[in-house]
């Protein structure tokens, strides 16, 4: 078992949730219940729940925009185009053409793929490209572009990365 507060336990906790589906009501989850934000979009609640289960302090990111700003204020932020993402980083998204021109989704970096993309675990997303990427109703593993040089076909959606403090 990984050490409480470690990046390993944080990632193991998130990974174990892949496939979890909200419900029975819209946006109803144990993650939202934990943050007292049940029945609201729950990507940030998922990240915070994983942190709590693993003993990792995550800034309040129920509001994704406020979470990103908190990491910026704490000097624990890297803009996407100049970032070197690390496992356990909190990744913030603004999906092009989704009707919201701001940070509107958050996930956890599993790994940097070395090609301008990251593999992430995200709550409240769609497991495929067709569904809603920021309110898709399930925990899924996704590949997301963070550099303009990334593989073609992936929208450039990552705005930046917040870095929690881990033990070990």
- Each of the 168 residues of the chain gets a pLDDT tens digit; together they read 789 999 999 999 999 999 999 999 999 999 999 999 999 999 999 999 999 999 999 999 999 999 999 999 999 999 998 989 999 999 999 988 777 788 999 999 999 999 999 999 999 999 888 888 888 899 999 999 998 777 667 778 899 999 999 987
Backbone angles phi, psi at 128, to 5 degrees: -125, 180
Q: What pTM value is reported for the model? A: 0.94
3-state SS, one letter per residue, for the chain: CCCCCCHHHHHHHHHHCCCCECCCCCCCCHHHHHHCCCCCCCHHHHHHHHHHHHCCCCCCCCCHHHHHHHHHHCCCEEEHHHCCCCCCCEEEECCCCCCCCCCCEEEEEEEECCCCEEEEEEEEECCCCCCCCCCCCEEEEEEEECCCCCCCCCCECEEEEECCCCCC
- Choose among 12, 5, 90: nearest CA to 47: 90
pLDDT of residue 40: 94
Answer whether 91's CB lies under 8 Å from 118's CB.
yes
pLDDT of residue 68: 96
pLDDT of residue 38: 96
Tokens coding 96: 């092009």
- Give the chain's domains with CATH numbers: 7-162 (3.90.1720)
pLDDT of residue 131: 83
């Amino acid at each position: 078992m990984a050490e409480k507060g470690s990046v390993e336990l944080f990632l193991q906790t998130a990974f174990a949730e892949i496939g979890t589906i909200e419900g029975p009501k819209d946006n109803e989850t144990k993650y939202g219940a934990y943050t007292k934000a049940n029945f609201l979009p729950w990507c940030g609640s998922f990240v915070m729940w994983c942190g709590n289960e693993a003993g990792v302090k995550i800034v309040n990111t129920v509001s994704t925009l406020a979470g990103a700003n908190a990491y910026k204020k704490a000097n624990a932020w890297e803009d996407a185009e100049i970032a070197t993402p690390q496992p356990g980083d909190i990744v913030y998204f603004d999906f092009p053409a989704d009707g919201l021109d701001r940070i509107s989704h958050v996930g956890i970096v599993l790994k940097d793929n070395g090609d301008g993309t990251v593999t992430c675990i995200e709550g409240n997303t769609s497991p495929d490209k067709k569904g809603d990427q920021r309110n898709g109703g399930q925990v899924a593993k996704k590949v997301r572009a963070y550099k303009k040089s990334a593989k073609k076909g992936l929208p450039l959606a990552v705005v930046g990365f917040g870095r929690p403090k881990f033990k070990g």
